[in-house]
Amino acid sequence: MISKTLISEPTFEDRTEKTVDQQWADFSPIVTGEDYLQSIRNRGTLLYLFGEAIDEPADHPIIKPSINALKKTYDLAIEDPDLATAYSPYISAPVNRFLHIPKSSEDLVQKHKMQRRLGQLTGTCFQRCTGLDALSVLHSVTFDVDKKYNTQYHKRYIEFLKKAQKNNVLISAGMTDPKGDRSKRPHQQVDKDMYMRVVERNDQGVYVTGVKAHMTGGWNQHWICVMPTMNMLPEDKEYAIIGMIPVQAEGITFIYGRQSCDMRAMGGGNIDQGNVHFGGQEVLVFFDRVFIPHEHVFLDGEYEFAQELVTKFTAYHRASYVCKTGLGDVITGAAASIADYNGVEKVSHIKDKLVEMVHLNETIYSSGIASAHEAKELESGAYMNDIMLSNVCKHNVTRFPYELSRIAQDIAGGIMVTMPSEADYRSEEVGKIVDRFLRGRDDIPTEDRMRILRLIENMTLGRNAVGYLTESMHGAGSPQAQRIQIFRGMNVEEKKQFARDLAGIKSKK
């Protein structure tokens, strides 16, 4: 699979930078999931996996499940257009809901219902929400910057949005910089590229250098929206850059993040993976003097708007984590199934554990859906989730999937991790032993019992534990980031006054 080499001393003279029109000429409108599969082939990107540059990442068995998950976002729009499409006033046509700017609370409610549904269908991170949340926040941020500085960012953004909607493309969010020494600001870092920055500019656009870390669905999409990861000071001006970059732009190197048990995809068979069709994708992306034409630059030096960007992005994205309730439905169903296969589904403590799982899962859902119902209109006309409830939703997500997983493992029993492989099950020599002694209820095939056990393993220890557990912990900000937002919005003085009034205390202290 080795066909390309990373140029250690890059020369830029031979690069021809594409204009906006030339960049969009690489795309044609995508309708079906099959169209999408074709759209990501033969792009000439440089992607490394296990130290090797991969000829055609779209065909790689470790990468394929993440592509299948994104494909599902196209398929669902055809199968259930009420749920997964919406009418766009920008192009006067229905668009995939992942490209629809929320213009009402109902839009956000529908979005979260769609996310739960996709979680149920894939059992993993389907990777398309960061792009929608980036588009949603840019609607108001570009509007606000223009209002203050009389710039043209909102117009540029709308032009991009229209093309994105017409072509039905995928956009991923490149937000997290490596950050280096956390005690230092971007401009204070010894390595100046520790945060993405503008390294050069000319009449046509800007050049950026830097790295975006753990980018969800970084390679298998069409565009990357690079954005600042935190608030910026005047000295950090060159780091205050937002722009859209095509995945196949020159100067990008993708390094694929390996995931727990990912090599099971290389071993043949379809039981041991637990969820053979779907998985997530996380990539480390190096941008080496990558060109962004001015038309695709949506912030350039207006450093004070980085804070607004981050706060609003998290308001959208932390509610997007209702996606995990779809996975919660799957893990609850898996726990109930293995209890059934073991013949214990009606045992009272099993029923009670399933009730606990549902209670935890619906608690996540209620905070997420409430944040949509309580959404407010911004000056730009876009609606944004309630910040407090969105943060509570994500904070629930940092905790409850772990408890759901613990209960699922409790119900599954130790066989989940001591069970022989599919190869042993199919072996002429020992297959009969495995089949006979891994059986639970007599009327349930051993293979079905193995499949459910592997699915629970997949979601709580294996490849999709990345999405169900660790991403739940750290995606869209680690738990402490939500506690900071909850602290900012908790208005404890008002609460103290409620208490003083009822206790008959006249003092304002």
Active site residues: 125, 129, 216, 282, 317, 321, 323, 471
Q: Which stretch binds ligand SF4 (CB under 6 A): 60-68, 122-130, 348-356, 383-391?
A: 122-130
Cα angle for residues 59, 65, 71 (degrees, 5° grid): 90
Q: Does position 174 bind Fe ion by CB under 5 A?
A: no
Q: Give the three-class secondary structure for 174.
A: strand
Binds ligand SF4 by CB under 6 A, chosen from 68, 136, 275, 320:
320
Is the Cβ of residue 243 or residue 467 nearer to Fe ion in the bound state?
467
Q: Does position 127 bind ligand SF4 by CB under 6 A?
A: yes
Q: Which stretch binds ligand SF4 (CB under 6 A): 19-27, 316-324, 328-336, 380-388?
A: 316-324
Token pair recorded at residue 165: 């909607």
Pairing of strands 171-174, 223-226: parallel
Cβ atoms 29, 19 nearer than 8 A: no
Cβ atoms 115, 322 nearer than 8 A: yes
- Provide the 10 A C-beta neighbour count for residue 347: 12
CB of 84 to Fe ion, least distance (A): 19
Token pair recorded at residue 367: 């905070």
Q: Give the three-class secondary structure for 61.
A: coil
Binds ligand SF4 by CB under 6 A, chosen from 37, 125, 372, 455:
125
CB of 476 to ligand SF4, least distance (A): 7
Q: Does position 325 bind ligand SF4 by CB under 6 A?
A: no
Binds Fe ion by CB under 5 A, chosen from 33, 217, 475, 477:
475
The 202-221 site mask, x for binding Fe ion (CB under 5 A), equals --------------x-----
Strands, DSSP E only, in 120-192? 171-174
Q: Which of residues 29-48 bind ligand SF4 (CB under 6 A)?
A: none
Is the Cβ of residue 23 or residue 73 nearer to ligand SF4 in the bound state?
73
Token pair recorded at residue 277: 């069709």
Tell the burial category of 509 from Cβ atoms under 10 Å away from its Cβ (0-12, 13-18, 19+): exposed
Q: Which stretch binds ligand SF4 (CB under 6 A): 40-48, 247-255, 320-328, 368-376?
A: 320-328
Q: Does position 74 bind ligand SF4 by CB under 6 A?
A: no
CB of 321 to ligand SF4, least distance (A): 5
The 206-245 site mask, x for binding ligand SF4 (CB under 6 A), equals ----------x-----------------------------
Q: Which stretch binds Fe ion (CB under 5 A): 83-91, 325-333, 370-378, 474-482?
A: 474-482
Cα angle for residues 134, 120, 33 (degrees, 5° grid): 65
For the chain, the farthest-separated pair of C-alpha atoms sits apart, in whole angstroms, at 84
Binds ligand SF4 by CB under 6 A, chosen from 76, 84, 114, 129:
129
As a whole number of angstroms, the distance between CA 476 and CA 387 comes to 13
Binds ligand SF4 by CB under 6 A, chosen from 321, 341, 400, 468:
321
Q: What is the arrangement of strands in the sheet containing 52-53, beginning at the earlier edge strand?
A: 52-53, 46-49, 252-256, 282-293, 205-216, 197-201
Cα angle for residues 100, 105, 111 (degrees, 5° grid): 45
Token pair recorded at residue 435: 């089949």
Strand partners, 27: none
Q: Which residues bind ligand SF4 (CB under 6 A)?
A: 125-127, 129-130, 216, 320-321, 323, 471, 475
Q: Which residues bind Fe ion (CB under 5 A)?
A: 216, 475
